[in-house]
Amino acid sequence: MGSNTTFEGTESHSAETTLRDLLRMEQVRLVYDQLLSSQLVAVLNAVVFVAVQSLVIPAPVLVTWLAAVCVLALIRIAGGIAFRSEAPQAGQIGRWRFWAIVGATASGVVWGSAAWLLYPSMNVAHQVFVAFILGGMVAGSVATLAPVFPAFLAYAVLTLVPAAIRFPLQQDPVHYAMGWLILVFLVAVIVIARRSHEHMSDMLQLRIENAGLTGELHATRERLRRAQQGADAGRA
């Protein structure tokens, strides 16, 4: 009796582990599947950002920052291609999940640096444009990074916190308010991304469980068919 209970407990734990691995694999797959489009949008936004800020920021700074965005985008796109080429299984997904988080973190560092490098201290309109671009990039990343929530969290925090620090350094009520609003926005998108992550995880888990049940049903039908054939052959 005790050995049966132990076996059932081990089998249940194994099934839970397999489900967790499959769920993580699907979450990571969603992130890598969207890398090409998300990075192309990032480069396009960076070009527009640099074009607007070229009126108030020195060209060498703009070119260096844009080059960093483009190089990082190419590296991340190459990672997405490598992921699809390898087609990793559930037990191999940990390494790819790690690099997805690293890539999002690096992007957050680059975009967050714009709050200092591309921030004109004497032009309020262009300062507001910095906040607009960074906020838009984070808002857009909810759909592309939320499946791997740590990746989104790293990207959002590293992109927006530098701006939340930079604005209040102007030391006037409007800039204090801007810094506070950026922090409020950051908290709001983190909450939204967390809920999106949980919703997607529930949907993916349901799909995995349904696929498993479908496979078991087909296997049962096949066993019954073979049993029926055996019985018919025995009667003959």
Kindly write down the DSSP assignment for every residue of 34-76, as one continuous string. THHHHHHHHHHHHHHHHHHHTTTS-HHHHHHHHHHHHHHHHHH
Among 121, 131, 141, 133, residue whose Cα is nearest residue 190: 141
Domain boundaries, position 213: 2-235
pLDDT of residue 151: 96
pLDDT of residue 210: 61
pLDDT of residue 73: 97
- Spatial distance between the Cα atoms of 216 and 199, rounded to a whole number of angstroms: 26
- Spatial distance between the Cα atoms of 109 and 139, rounded to a whole number of angstroms: 16
**How many domains are there within the chain?**
1
pLDDT of residue 12: 44
Q: If DSSP states are collapsed to H, E and C, what string results for 117-136?
A: HCCCCCCHHHHHHHHHHHHH
What distance lies between CA 90 and its chain's CA centroid?
18
pLDDT of residue 25: 85
pLDDT of residue 7: 36
Going from the C-alpha of 38 to that of each of 42, 94, 117, 220, the distances in angstroms are 6, 22, 23, 43
Report yes or no: 202 and 27 within 8 Å, Cβ to Cβ.
Answer: no
pLDDT of residue 204: 67
pLDDT of residue 5: 44
* Site of tokens 């009796």: 1
pLDDT in tens, the chain (236 residues): 444 444 344 444 444 557 677 778 888 888 999 999 999 999 999 999 999 999 999 999 999 999 999 999 999 999 999 998 988 776 778 899 999 999 999 999 999 999 999 999 889 999 999 999 999 999 999 999 999 999 999 999 999 999 999 999 999 999 999 999 999 999 999 999 999 988 887 776 776 666 554 544 455 555 545 555 555 555 55
pLDDT of residue 11: 42
What tokens were used for 41? Answer: 């949008």
Report yes or no: 87 and 46 within 8 Å, Cβ to Cβ.
Answer: no
Helix or strand holding residue 1 (H, E): none
- Spatial distance between the Cα atoms of 169 and 175, rounded to a whole number of angstroms: 8
